[in-house]
Amino acid sequence: MSTNKNAEPSFNQAVQLYFEKAAAIKKDSYPEGLLEQIREANSVYRMHFPIKLGDKYEVIEAYRVQHSHHKLPCKGGIRYSIHVNQDEVTALASLMTYKCAIVDVPFGGAKGGIKIDARKYDEYQLERITRRYTTELIKKNFIGPSIDVPAPDYGTGGREMAWIVDTYVTFNPNNIDAYGCVTGKPVQQSGIRGRVEATGRGVFFGTREAVSNAEDMAALGLTTGIEGKSVVIQGLGNVGFHSARIFAENGAILTGLSEYEGTIVDESGKGFDIHDVMRHRKETGSILNYPNAKSLDRNAVLELECDILIPAAIESVIHLGNANNVKAKIIAEAANGPVTPGAHQILVDNGIMVIPDVYLNAGGVTVSYFEWVKNLSHVRFGRMDKRLRQNARNKMINVIEAATGKTIDSSSRQFADEGPSEVDIVRSGLEETMISAYRDIHKVWRENEAVKDLRTAAFVVAIEKIAASYMGLGIFP
């Protein structure tokens, strides 16, 4: 199969094309130069640093791009991948700017990347690389709770964030807010409950909101609701695994899954148990040859029949070469940039609904925002009011029992009785964020003749909010 990759724009050009499409709709609304200012990356830091690994030195290439300073701090993950380059990090940083605006998270966009294949290094070597990268960021004032706050992305997680915060705190012992220099930290190191699953849970909330619209679903030949929908997922890392788990917990049927080594298609008719698939992978080193499943090659996952396809691995996997073969009715973009602009047009023309990355995977940064707020306020969510709410509900139940003469059974009482914990508050804040943001985007899509798809609508919403912010600053009066 030809991929026609040479005919496609780079990742950063792709994001700019999406931006330009929305900007063309808004161009008469703003002073000259404002849209250009929003589009361009503000600061790019490209670095090389040496690391002694064993008896030889290796020179590591790394980046931090701050796309927008219209709100501070900047915010965005750090990626470890051999494919990291300036174009990719810039594209990801700009997506962060638009994403934060769409979900009303008060940050400018940023992104970092280290060009390594993390699987080739042991834990000690990865720690040294991470700590050295953090030191480089500190030296150039590219990290800090009020400057720029990284988070996990492809190839990184809580472990790397723990090394980053430890390094930052070591260099900034007098900064009482130093723990807010990075998010996605382990809970024991000032992280927040619910962050690890946040992007996957946000993908679920956003998709659930999209499939709740009867008119939109009728146009796709689908009924409303997640329950019973067939779901196929590419990539079972942080985002893919938690998306799979939460969709299945809510009644979706996981009919196809893929990882680096290939694709598996369920033949049991019941759908995959994601925990059992992960156990199989741990034991055998692969998801392939899973019982009652057909094994196919890695890219076959994108062309399976299903209601919802969730690409949750890397960018540009749906391109001009395979877009016409996509049979899903909805593409829920959990990864950043999984669909190229040419492919996006083909999918839209083919009547497929694409729920765009720039909105749909914002759950991670939303809960990162909650973590940062927690770090700055130095108090766990729920600590001050959990018992208060519990007591208030208890009193209410007593009043109802006294007024009705009926006794509420103990399990219902216990359920009604419990005050919200930190994770309850985080999930509720995330749910509210994803629902409200979808409604904003959907309204722009449905009420503007010129806006033909959800992605363009999402960029229009982002432009409106960022422009208002610049104009509020008096920079573009």
Residues that bind ligand NAD (CB under 6 A): 152-155, 199, 234-240, 258-260, 298, 312-314, 334-336, 361, 364
Map residue 369 onto helix, strand or coil: helix
Render 76-111 in DSSP notation, one character per residue. EEEEE-TT--HHHHHHHHHHHHHHHHHTT---EEEE
Distance CA 394, CA 412 (A): 11
Q: Count CB atoms within 10 A of the CB of residue 217.
A: 19
Which of 191/470 has CB closer to ligand NAD?
A: 191
Query: Smallest distance, Å, CB 107 to ligand NAD?
Result: 14
Query: Smallest distance, Å, CB 416 to ligand NAD?
Result: 33
Query: Smallest distance, Å, CB 261 to ligand NAD?
Result: 8
Query: Smallest distance, Å, CB 52 to ligand NAD?
Result: 26
- The closest alpha carbon to 461, from 369, 362, 363, 372, belongs to 362
Q: What angle do CA 62, 63, 65 make, to 5 degrees?
A: 175
**Burial class (CB within 10 angstroms; exposed 0-12, middle 13-18, buried 19+) of 88:** buried
Query: Smallest distance, Å, CB 22 to ligand NAD?
Result: 20
Which of 230/238 has CB closer to ligand NAD?
A: 238
Distance CA 307, CA 45 (A): 42
Which of 230/361 has CB closer to ligand NAD?
A: 361
Among residues 75, 111, 185, 374, the one annotated as catalytic is 111
Which of 112/144 has CB closer to ligand NAD?
A: 112
Amino acid letter, residue 168 = Y
For the question of residue 294 being annotated catalytic, the response is no
* Contact call for residues 247 and 356 (beta carbons, < 8 A): no
Distance CA 336, CA 360 (A): 9
The residue nearest ligand NAD at its CB is 237
Distance CA 166, CA 180 (A): 11
Q: Count CB atoms within 10 A of the CB of residue 442.
A: 17
**Burial class (CB within 10 angstroms; exposed 0-12, middle 13-18, buried 19+) of 283:** exposed
Please list, in sequence order, all residues whose beta carbon lies within 8 angstroms of the beta carbon of residue 259, skipping any fewer than 6 positions away. Answer: 235, 236, 281, 286, 287, 298
Query: Smallest distance, Å, CB 406 to ligand NAD?
Result: 46
Active site residues: 111
